[in-house]
Amino acid sequence: MNFVLFDGDCSFCQVNVQFILRFERSAYFHFASLQSEVGQALCERYDITDTTSVVVIDQNKAYTKSDAALQITKHLRYFWVLRGLGIVPRFLRDIVYEVIAINRKHLPGACLVPTATQRARFHEKR
């Protein structure tokens, strides 16, 4: 399974998950918060220690920060042009990513109630 792991306590991160759900070309990703048992197990399995970043597990490889964001764009409709940002050196992309990450909890969020089909793709244990 291909996963997007996100900060479940962050409304901006949740809005980004909603964005992925809205613009995916197909139901490619599954989702789990970094705080969930699934998220923690995947971080341990892939030796991810930076839990302030979005984490993408795609084809059994883990991506973080701007690499994770670029990996997501590969599976979105209309946003293929963003893949061109891959030519920007990673350290520069990650600086921009870090600025957004530091301020993410202060950014406005919106609410989308996932459909039953979309909800089945979330792995949370409550």
SS3 track for 65-116: HHHHHHHHHCCECCCHHHHHHHHCCHHHHHHHHHHHHHHHHHCCCCCCCCCH
Between 113 and 12, whose confidence is greater?
12
Digit-coded pLDDT (tens) for 80-121: 767 777 778 889 988 888 888 777 766 665 445 567 788 788
Q: How many CB atoms lie within 10 A of CB 70?
A: 19
Local confidence band at 47 (pLDDT 50, 70, 90 cut-offs):
very high
